[in-house]
């Protein structure tokens, strides 16, 4: 006789809301498919975001869902460095009203929203993982490789690839096989190589391969600086010339895991779907979400 042991540990699906909202908006905006409400308000990003989360829920079978948001463009990283994300264009006019709408729809469906003014969604995600990884198995959905530094034995990062259903999935074991460093040290690698999309430079002349090799060899940014005399003259010169920006880049690259989380894991338990919820979504102008939910759950 076979004995099946059910995994009773909660499975939390942790959503990078802003990443999915932007991804969904730009998937349809070039074709001018904004799926406007009767009053003209565009909804393409919001409806794509919700459909993505519903699809992930269907594939990954979580018991809990939490959605993390950036709360404004100005964060503590801007206080550290004026150039942080300064090169990013302003969001299109059609996207601007959808930031608040996405949070409203998330709440309407029953997903728990999290976000702290002055912090990025990454910091909220990192803090939830830090506080809840002993209480649940966690899967993070995002398009941001920076989150790989948060991997631990109970946390998986599912990076978006294509459509609503394809992911590049990392666990701690895969990361360490590919990078040969502990996940938190991914921030140290980023400190050397910099990040043009986030607007911090790292050390000019040191690319991804060299940055990774330095951390593999010396263990951290501090380890490299402590062994500076062991480096080749050209590398030593570059790092010494940019030492202060290197240290600053490390502060910018590290995810803050000390954000206060106002809520509990129990608050994130999956909502119960019924026809009244579907009708409400349709009445509010989100018929695509309603139809997608109906196809998955009814």
User: What is the domain-level CATH number for residue 151?
Assistant: 3.40.50.1010
Q: Assign 128 a pLDDT band (cuts: 50, 70, 90).
A: very high
Residues 194 and 108 in one domain: no
- Report helix, strand or coil for 170: strand
pTM exceeds 0.85, yes or no: yes
User: What is the domain-level CATH number for residue 217?
Assistant: 1.10.150.20
For the segment 99-106, the average pLDDT, to the nearest whole number, is 97
Residues 231 and 129 in one domain: no
Tell me how many domains the chain contains: 2
Instruction: Give the rounded percent of residues in the chain with a pLDDT score beyond 90.
Output: 83
Residues 170 and 46 in one domain: yes
Parent domain of 198: 180-253
Residues 229 and 188 in one domain: yes
Note whether residue 298 is domain-resident.
no
Note whether residue 5 is domain-resident.
no
Give, in order, the Cα–Cα distances in Å from 105 to each of 231, 268, 277: 54, 15, 11
Residues 48 and 130 in one domain: yes
Residues 68 and 210 in one domain: no
pLDDT in the model for residue 4:
37
Give, in order, the Cα–Cα distances in Å from 187 to each of 19, 21, 55, 150, 206: 19, 25, 30, 10, 15
Q: Give the residue among 92, 101, 93, 111 at the shortest CA–CA distance from 37.
A: 101
């Amino acid at each position: 006789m076979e004995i099946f042991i059910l995994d009773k540990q909660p499975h939390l699906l942790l959503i990078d809301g802003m990443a999915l909202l932007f991804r969904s908006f730009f998937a349809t905006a070039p074709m001018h498919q904004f799926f406007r409400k009767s009053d003209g308000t565009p909804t393409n990003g919001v409806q794509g975001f919700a459909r993505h989360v519903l699809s992930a829920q269907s594939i990954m079978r979580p018991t809990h869902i939490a959605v993390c948001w950036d709360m404004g463009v100005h964060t503590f990283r801007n206080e550290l460095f004026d150039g942080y994300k300064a090169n990013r264009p302003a969001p299109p006019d059609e996207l601007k009203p959808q930031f608040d709408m996405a949070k409203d729809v998330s709440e309407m469906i029953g997903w728990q929203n999290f976000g702290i003014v002055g912090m990025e969604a990454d910091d909220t995600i990192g803090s939830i993982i830090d506080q809840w990884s002993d209480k649940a198995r966690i899967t993070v959905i995002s398009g941001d490789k920076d989150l790989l530094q948060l991997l631990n034995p109970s946390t998986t990062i599912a990076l978006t690839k294509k459509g609503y259903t394809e992911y590049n999935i990392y666990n701690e074991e895969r990361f360490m096989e590919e990078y040969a460093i502990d996940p938190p040290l991914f921030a140290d690698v980023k400190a050397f190589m910099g990040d043009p999309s986030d607007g911090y430079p790292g050390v000019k002349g040191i690319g991804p391969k060299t940055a990774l090799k330095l951390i593999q060899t010396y263990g951290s940014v501090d380890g490299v600086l402590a062994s500076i005399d062991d480096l080749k003259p050209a590398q030593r010169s570059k790092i010494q010339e940019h030492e202060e920006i290197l240290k600053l880049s490390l502060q910018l690259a590290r995810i803050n895991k000390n954000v206060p989380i106002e809520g509990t894991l129990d608050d994130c338990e999956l909502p119960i779907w019924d026809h009244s919820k579907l009708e409400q979504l349709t009445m509010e102008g989100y018929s695509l979400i309603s139809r997608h939910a109906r196809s998955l759950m009814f």
